[in-house]
């Protein structure tokens, strides 16, 4: 799907995060160059979170603060996205100490995928629909 140029960088970054989400899921097929053992997946997930997702979440939240008051639907979704970011951050932090690491990876992978799909399929189209070019250019 073609994204407005202001949102396109977020969508491109989502691709790598979706691959991570898939790798984390229980029973997922092996991806070339990706870890296949549980400890390797945990190390990769935490590194990806530290290097990519933390900054991505911060930039995404800064962008959402600029558009959340456009209408109630965007405001409500923005609040949900902020809460999901917090939950994802907490779960990435807990990953190393989880009792059932395979289950923790699987649940976090599913949560990350659902979060990204919500942004791509619901939030971003709403922003594109309801924010004029002057707002989108400001992002």
What pLDDT, on the 0 to 100 scale, is given for residue 9? 93
- Residue 111 contacts residue 87 (beta carbons within 8 Å): yes
Greatest Cα pair distance, the chain, in angstroms, is 49
Helix (H/G/I), strand (E/B), else coil: 36: coil
Give the Cα separation of 16 and 33 in Å (integer).
13
- Spans of all domains in the chain: 8-138
Tell me what percent of the chain is helix, strand and coil, each rounded to the nearest 5. 80, 0, 20
What pLDDT, on the 0 to 100 scale, is given for residue 7? 93
* pTM for this entry: 0.94
Buried b (16+ CB within 10 A) or exposed e, 57-78: beebeebbeebbebeeebeebb
Q: In this structure, is the dihedral angle defined by the CA atoms of residues 34, 98, 22 and 6, taken in order, positive or negative?
A: negative
What pLDDT, on the 0 to 100 scale, is given for residue 1? 63
What pLDDT, on the 0 to 100 scale, is given for residue 105? 98
What pLDDT, on the 0 to 100 scale, is given for residue 2? 83
Q: pLDDT (tens digit, 0 to 9) for every residue of the chain, 139 residues total?
A: 688 889 999 999 999 999 999 999 998 888 889 999 999 999 999 999 999 999 999 999 999 999 999 999 999 999 999 999 999 999 999 999 999 999 999 999 999 999 999 999 999 999 999 998 888 888 8
What pLDDT, on the 0 to 100 scale, is given for residue 101? 96
Long-range contacts of 129-133 (CB under 8 A, 24+ apart): 130/70, 130/71, 130/73, 130/74, 131/67, 131/70
> How long, in residues, is the chain?
139
């Amino acid at each position: 799907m073609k994204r407005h140029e202001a949102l396109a960088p977020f969508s491109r970054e989502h691709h790598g995060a979706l691959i991570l989400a898939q790798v984390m899921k229980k029973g997922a097929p092996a991806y070339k160059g990706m870890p296949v053992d549980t400890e390797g997946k945990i190390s990769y997930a935490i590194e990806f979170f530290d290097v990519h997702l933390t900054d991505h979440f911060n930039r995404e939240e800064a962008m959402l603060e600029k558009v959340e008051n456009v209408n109630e639907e965007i405001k409500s979704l923005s609040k949900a996205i902020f809460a999901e970011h917090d939950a994802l951050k907490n779960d990435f932090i807990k990953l190393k100490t989880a009792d059932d690491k395979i289950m923790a990876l699987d649940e976090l992978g599913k949560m990350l995928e659902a979060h990204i799909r919500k942004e791509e399929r619901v939030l971003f189209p709403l922003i594109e629909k309801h924010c004029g070019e002057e707002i989108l250019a400001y992002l």
